[in-house]
Amino acid sequence: MRIDKYLSNMGIGSRKEVKDYIKKGYVLINNQVITKPTFQVKENEDIVKFNNEEIIYKEYTYIMMNKPQGVISATRDREDTVIDLLDEKYHNKDIFPAGRLDKDTEGLVLLTNDGRLAHDLLSPKKNVVKKYYAKVDNKLEEADITSFRQGIYLENEQYLTLPANLEIISDYEAYVYIKEGKYHQVKRMLSSLGKNVVYLKRISIGSLILDENLDLGQYRELTEEEVINLEEA
Ligand code: URA
């Protein structure tokens, strides 16, 4: 891979900025200054230093975000997207949200450029459970738990959802566990039972749990362990 691409992928700067740094002699490969942006570097073999700091190549980026309401889970939109909330150093990396949350839903969004992992997490066949916290406008009942277990028929789509779990916390609050991600799924499942969702937050995707230290709109990269656990699932 070209050294300018390597450094820009690792968030050192735009391709243009990085070319400049290289020409000015800020970049060492195996302790030799190189000044050609086209220089070919072997990602997992050569030792690359920028400003005397080693820059290790990571093929993929994984970020968890606590999405606030009012932000769209897409890469581009007329309105603010989750990508707009990321620092500029993440903007050239083809990162996208793995699964969507509604504009008025808060909570965990995984942002990555690892298409295979994203696909696996979203596929209903892979049985990855997504956990939500929901507040509703009507009293939850034991019978609702059974309805969830049996799967809920979504009228306008004529679709019976996979069995899901409802864990009632209080009269108007519950955790919902689903393996699919149909449009407005949690809201539609609850509204079929006569309960409108007034607040929704995603808490987890498989083994990945939203970090409670992240305020709304904040994000952080996943730890190596979090990535490994997701891949194993
Ligand atoms: N289900 C919904 O209804 N909305 C979301 O944002 C996510 C799941």
233 pLDDT more than 80:
no
Residue 77 annotated as catalytic: no
Domain layout of the chain by residue ranges = 3-54, 59-127+211-233, 129-205
222 pLDDT more than 80:
yes
Question: Is the shortest distance between the CB of 178 and ligand 1 below 6 Å?
Answer: no
- Cα of 39 to ligand 1 centre, how many Å? 47
Q: Please tell me the residue having the least CA distance from ligand 1 atom 4.
A: 184
Q: In terms of pLDDT, which residue wins out, 76 or 216?
A: 216
CA angle 105, 108, 111 (to 5 degrees): 115
Mean pLDDT of 25-33: 97
- Give this prediction's pTM: 0.89
155 pLDDT more than 90:
no
Question: Is the shortest distance between the CB of 191 and ligand 1 below 6 Å?
Answer: no
Architecture per CATH, 3-54: Roll (3.10)
Give me the pLDDT at residue 38, please: 97
54 pLDDT more than 90:
yes
Q: Give the pLDDT confidence of 170-196 residue by residue, as tens digits.
A: 999 999 999 998 999 999 999 999 999
In the chain, % helix, strand, coil (3-state, to 5) comes to 25, 30, 45
61 pLDDT more than 90:
yes
Q: Give the pLDDT confidence of 193-212 residue by residue, as tens digits.
A: 999 999 999 999 999 999 99
Question: Is the shortest distance between the CB of 187 and ligand 1 below 6 Å?
Answer: yes
Give me the pLDDT at residue 30, please: 97
59-127+211-233 carries CATH number 3.30.750.210: no
User: What is the C-alpha separation between 106 and 76, in angstroms, rounded?
Assistant: 19
56 pLDDT more than 90:
yes
129-205 carries CATH number 3.40.50.1820: no
Please determine whether the domains at 59-127+211-233 and 129-205 fall in the same fold group of CATH: yes
**Cβ of 179: how many Cβ atoms within 10 Å?**
18
151: left (phi > 0), else alpha (psi -120 to 50), else beta?
Answer: left
Give me the pLDDT at residue 100, please: 93
**What percentage of the chain exceeds 90 in pLDDT?**
85
> According to the per-residue pLDDT averaged within each range, which of 25-34, 71-80, 84-93 is highest?
25-34
Mean pLDDT of 200-225: 97
Mean pLDDT of 95-105: 96
Cβ atoms of residues 27 and 48 within 8 Å = yes
* Residues contacting 223, CB < 8 A, separation 6+: none
HSE of 31 in the Cβ direction (CA atoms, 13 Å)?
0
User: Which ligand 1 atom is the nearest neighbour of the CA of 181?
Assistant: 8
φ and ψ at residue 51, rounded to 5 degrees:
55, 35
- The alpha carbon torsion through 24, 26, 27, 30 (nearest 10 deg) reads 120
